[in-house]
Amino acid sequence: MTSAPAVEAVELRKSYGTAVVLDGLTLRVARGSVRALLGPNGAGKTTTVRILTTLTAPDGGAARIDGYDVVRERRQVRSRISLAGQYAAVDEEQTGVENLRMMGRLAGLGRADARRRAADLLDRFDLGAAGGRRVAGYSGGMRRRLDLAASLVGEPSVIFLDEPTTGLDPRSRQALWTVIADLARGGTTVLLTTQYLEEADQLADTVSVLDGGRLVAEGSPAELKERFGAQRLDLRLRDHASLVEARARLGTRVVHHDPGRLEVGVATDGSAPHIRDLLDEVDPARRTVVRFTVRGATLDDVFLALTGHPAAPAATRPEVTNV
Amino acid sequence: MSELVAKGPTAWSARNGGPTGPDGTARGVPSGPARGGSAAVRALVLVARCVRLSRRNADALLMSLLLPVMLMLIFVYLFGGAIDTGTRYVTYVAPGVLILCAGFGAAGTAVSVTTDLANGVIDRFRTLDVGPVAILGGHVVASIVRNSVSTVLVLAVAVGIGFRPAVEPLRWLAAAGLLLLFLLAISWLSATFGLLTRTPEAAGGFTFVVMFLPYPSSAFVPVETMPTWLHGFAEHQPVTPVIESLRALLLGTPPGSAPLQAVAWCLALLALAVTASAVLFPRRVR
């Protein structure tokens, strides 16, 4: 079994009615690594996780966890995985301890083992003091930590985290990142989905960028940034007319656009000749560009370069996606 | 793109100091006892969970206790004086209120099931390889426990305001058995309804269906006093034989064929509920 990757998905397909959610997705996640599935809402991230965690059957393709098929060997798969969902799936009217003990018993632990495990996990997730209180009184961050603890009760070898920090404030998010990073250091394979580029950047060894149910890029955060422009040249224009003109000149090379600040960004290798060329191209008469900044590319730029739309939450995403 | 695919475990271990767990044992390769206690243990754990949750859901609990008691008092003291059933009204109406109470409480199962589906709890149980029978059964058994308690309470109130059942232990046992069977059928039917609805609010609608059924039955007034066109429905709907049997068993009058009809109705509803839930569950959780 040691040779099998922790997660292996080949040509996964899934449609709901006429809506194609997964369109031939192939993934391989090495044992002990942290993989981020990055993509906007509707990219197929949650469906991928549901298939890999045996909750949904694929229409086509195959997936294996530790070498076990998620459809035919569901039981073996289920004994190796755990899932922490988009919402904390813990009971509000039970205490932290009760929730964890229950999960322990369901995972096949004896009464005493379940009790011990619950106490260990509460301590480890900094919930020791709150363990005896009902979850209804927990903060959002505490709930997510409890949810994560609950998913570890059965000592899974692969853990799936579906948007683990969505809706959390920055401090709780940071705290949860620490916990997830520790988990990975402990040897557990982690597959997480996220819309936050920073999250992928912080946690993942490898990022798989999904769009429209397909894999559009894969690599370490550094590799991806490197490949899709190591640097970004941001130009501040004199007025709106100049901004429109600059965008027209750069066309599809625009990777950043902020009309409020009269800014437009374009990928560059950061070398003086290239930057000089770009400046000359955008502003041949040397009148419209007032300032420029060269900065390291973010995964946001990568995402935009790959898919033609930013990886922001749906509310701020443009209606039409032109890839 | 293949050159960018995940770094191997070697690179990873070098960076992180090797894949060992917090206790120093090798991790990553699944080891230790296989997961999965017996199905019976899991089912019991889930029953305990649902009982605990319903005990702590103060609003719903109070409602399922207070409402039937209030109805009993309203019918006996407000309407009872105007209704002539040939006996003291409390004697006539108590069995009907018991059924109303049982049905009302059992219908709450739909809300619990939908809530569990909506917030991902059922998905999590499924990844722990807990089957649909244990998941739904937990809710159903908890409903039976909860409503048995509230039924006893309503019965105590009835006795307090003058309901005098005949003292015949065997008939009491039969009445209790029938009530349990009725609770089982309605609870499972309700759980099935919970698989159909998307929000807990919608699931709450099932309560109204179940609450309504005792009215066009012999629960509060004899069927003969209703308009003729309603007789057909009132006499042949499931609640009437259950109430008639309960009345006969508790008061010591001859029950006739009512118990047989009641048991047949309950078993039929139960079979319908179990079949429907077996069909619906896999579709709902897809």
The domain segmentation of chain B, as residue ranges, is 37-284
Has residue A304 got a pLDDT over 60?
yes
C-alpha span between B257 and B240 (Å, rounded): 12
Min Cα distance B16 → chain A (Å) is 6
Q: What is the predicted ipTM?
A: 0.78
Angle at B63 between CA B59 and CA B69, to 5 degrees: 150
Q: What is the pLDDT of residues B130-150, one digit of tens each?
A: 989 999 999 999 999 988 988
B83 — pLDDT class (breaks 50, 70, 90): confident
* CA-to-CA separations, B230 to A129, B211, B242, B266, in angstroms, rounded: 61, 18, 18, 22
Based on its alpha-carbon atoms, the radius of gyration of chain A, rounded to whole angstroms, reads 23
B159 — pLDDT class (breaks 50, 70, 90): very high
pLDDT value of residue B17: 35
**Which of A90-94, A181-185, B48-52, B57-61 bottoms out in mean pLDDT, i.e. has the lowest?**
B57-61
Average pLDDT over residues B79-83: 84
**Which of A189-193, B53-57, B193-197 bottoms out in mean pLDDT, i.e. has the lowest?**
B53-57
Q: How many CA atoms lie within 13 A of A74 on its CB side?
A: 16
Has residue B29 got a pLDDT over 70?
no
Average pLDDT over residues A125-150: 91
Q: What are the structural domains of chain A? A: 7-220 (3.40.50.300), 229-296 (3.30.70.1150)
Classify residue B19 by its DSSP letter: S
SS3 A195: coil
Q: How many CA atoms lie within 13 A of B162 on its CB side?
A: 12
SS3 A192: strand
pLDDT value of residue B61: 77
pLDDT value of residue A230: 64
**Which of A14-23, A194-203, B44-53 bottoms out in mean pLDDT, i.e. has the lowest?**
A194-203
pLDDT value of residue A193: 93
Q: Please indicate, yes or no, whether the overall pTM of this predicted structure exceeds 0.80.
A: no
8 Å CB contact between A16 and A213: no
pLDDT value of residue A229: 61
Greater pLDDT, A68 or A224? A68
Greater pLDDT, B209 or B245? B245
How many C-beta atoms lie closer than 10 Å to residue B271's C-beta? 12
Has residue A278 got a pLDDT over 80?
yes
pLDDT value of residue B33: 42
Average pLDDT over residues A156-160: 93
Average pLDDT over residues B41-57: 90
C-alpha span between A91 and B6 (Å, rounded): 36
Max CA distance (Å), chain B: 90
A311 — pLDDT class (breaks 50, 70, 90): low
Element containing residue B188 per DSSP (H, E): helix B169-196
* Cβ–Cβ below 8 Å for B19 and A89: no
B105 — pLDDT class (breaks 50, 70, 90): confident
Average pLDDT over residues B193-208: 89
C-alpha span between A136 and A147 (Å, rounded): 13
Average pLDDT over residues A286-296: 88
* Cβ–Cβ below 8 Å for A85 and B22: no
pLDDT value of residue A2: 53
A161 strand-pairing partners: A84, A192
Mean residue pLDDT of chain B comes to 83
C-alpha span between A55 and A60 (Å, rounded): 15
C-alpha span between B196 and A145 (Å, rounded): 31
Residues of B in contact with A227 (CB under 8 A): 4
* Cβ–Cβ below 8 Å for A6 and B57: no
Q: What is the pLDDT of residues A167-212, one digit of tens each?
A: 888 888 888 898 889 888 888 999 999 887 788 888 999 999 898 8
* Cβ–Cβ below 8 Å for A107 and B1: no
Name the token pair of A93.
């009217």
Min Cα distance A56 → chain B (Å) is 5
pLDDT value of residue B32: 40
Handedness of CA B115, B120, B125, B130 (dihedral sign): positive
Q: What is the pLDDT of residues A19-74, one digit of tens each?
A: 999 999 999 999 999 999 988 888 899 999 999 999 999 999 999 999 999 999 99
How many C-beta atoms lie closer than 10 Å to residue B23's C-beta? 8
High-pLDDT (> 90) share of chain B, %: 37
How many C-beta atoms lie closer than 10 Å to residue B274's C-beta? 17
**Which of B81-85, B122-126, B278-282 bottoms out in mean pLDDT, i.e. has the lowest?**
B81-85
8 Å CB contact between A2 and A164: no
pLDDT value of residue B200: 87
A211 strand-pairing partners: A214
pLDDT value of residue B37: 57
* Cβ–Cβ below 8 Å for A187 and B53: no
Q: What is the pLDDT of residues B248-273, one digit of tens each?
A: 999 988 888 999 999 999 999 999 99
Has residue B113 got a pLDDT over 70?
yes
C-alpha span between B219 and B99 (Å, rounded): 8
High-pLDDT (> 70) share of chain A, %: 91
Has residue B4 got a pLDDT over 50?
no
For A70-102, b/e burial (b = at least 16 CB within 10 A) is: beebbebbbbbbbbbbbbbbbbbbbbbbbbbbb
8 Å CB contact between A256 and A305: no
B166-174: long-range contacts, CB 8 A cutoff, minimum separation 24 = B166/B250, B166/B251, B166/B252, B168/B252, B171/B249, B171/B250, B171/B252, B172/B249, B172/B250, B174/B249, B174/B259
How many C-beta atoms lie closer than 10 Å to residue A32's C-beta? 27
A268 — pLDDT class (breaks 50, 70, 90): confident
pLDDT value of residue A52: 95
Has residue B6 got a pLDDT over 50?
no
B242-245: long-range contacts, CB 8 A cutoff, minimum separation 24 = B242/B99, B242/B178, B242/B182, B242/B266, B243/B95, B243/B96, B243/B99, B243/B214, B243/B217, B243/B218, B243/B219, B244/B218, B245/B175, B245/B178
Nearest CB partner across the interface for A187, out of B6, B19, B285: B19
Query: Given CB atoms, is A59 within the 8 Å cutoff of chain B?
Result: no
Handedness of CA B144, B148, B149, B154 (dihedral sign): positive
* Cβ–Cβ below 8 Å for A218 and B4: yes
Beta-carbon contacts of A238 under 8 Å, excluding residues fewer than 6 positions away, are: A262, A287, A288, A289, A290
SS3 A11: strand
Best probe of the A interface among B31, B119, B123, B128, by most A CBs < 10 A, is B128
Query: Given CB atoms, is A287 within the 8 Å cutoff of chain B?
Result: no
Average pLDDT over residues B221-234: 88
* Cβ–Cβ below 8 Å for B128 and A33: no
C-alpha span between A137 and A257 (Å, rounded): 43
